[in-house]
Amino acid sequence: MKLEDYLDIQPEIAEAIKEGKPVVALESTILSHGMPFPENVEFAHKVEKIVRGEGAIPATTAIIDGKLKVGLSSDELDLMCRAENVGKVSRRDVAVYLATGMNGATTVATTMLIAAMAGIRIFATGGIGGVHRGGEDSMDISADLQELANTPVAVVCAGAKMILDLGRTLEYLETQGVPVLGYQTDEFPAFYCSKSGYKLDYNAESPEIIAKIMKTKWDLGLKGGLVIGNPIPEEFALDFDWMNGVIDAALKKADDLGIRGKYITPFLLAEIKDMTEGVSFASNLELAYNNARLASRIAKAYVAL
């Protein structure tokens, strides 16, 4: 079998890619393992509507019935949102899921992989994975970082998830040669919070300059992607010190329960939602919508080049 035999690209998206129209990849793990049903259904439809409203085509990815899906039908979106027998699929799991016909939601790493196979250059997510707190001992480092080092897709995010070690995550990205751009900010965003205290080298003032940086990087044959840190809008941003206290408590509970590996992020996000009485969840939605808007504008600027 050839790669094309595994890829199932919706006709609208395939035509848009062929004609050089702007397309934005979207992940499905945020639906299956990051949000409860049925709130995730509303989110899935709204984020796709936002992308279309900005003049781009949304391409939500997943693995269903032995196929790498690029664009999902309403029934397939519902399948991801109900999350019944839907696994969390990173790069290492892709071949297993395809070969066995299991259904899986795509992480940042897997969405990048599928997007690159389909010819999509821009991807909007909530926050990337990174080096976990205590990662210097546990070696718990998200596969997202290696994907960013090797796969030519630009990722718009509200920084890395705040449950992580942001400093070590940035150091890892630097070692791997991954450009980290701040969109109209001098600081790396901290997911729920607009500032982290970690300064960035590059403040990109417009989608057009980001698109030009993307094109220049790949024109030079430099491998890998880019991170575009897009701060959560101030009206939805949470207090940094307060959120750090909440996260410390959630991390302690995860450690007490022995929760590790790919299960820890969904556990922590759910725990933080409960501890903040839903405030963190509302912020999570808004930062994801904000990232979809910016990614769509970058996609339009990129195809214009």
Q: pLDDT averaged over the chain?
A: 95
pLDDT, mean of residues 7-30? 98
Q: Residue 261 pLDDT > 80, yes or no?
A: no
Decide the pairing of beta strands 103-106 and 86-89. Answer: parallel
Q: Please report the domains of the chain, with CATH numbers, ordered by start residue.
A: 3-304 (3.40.1790.10)
Digit-coded pLDDT (tens) for 171-213? 999 999 999 999 999 999 999 999 999 999 999 999 999 999 9
Extended strands (E) in the chain: 7-9, 23-26, 57-64, 67-70, 86-89, 103-106, 122-124, 154-157, 180-183, 202-204, 226-229
- Mutual angle of helices 207-219 and 279-304, in 10-degree steps: 60
**36: pLDDT confidence band, cut at 50, 70 and 90?**
confident
Question: Hey, which residues are catalytic here?
Answer: 27, 161
Q: Which of 61-70, 137-146, 219-228, 294-303 has the lowest mean pLDDT?
A: 137-146
Digit-coded pLDDT (tens) for 282-295? 999 999 999 999 99
Q: Residue 233 pLDDT > 90, yes or no?
A: yes
**In this predicted model, which residue has the larger pLDDT, 72 or 136?**
72
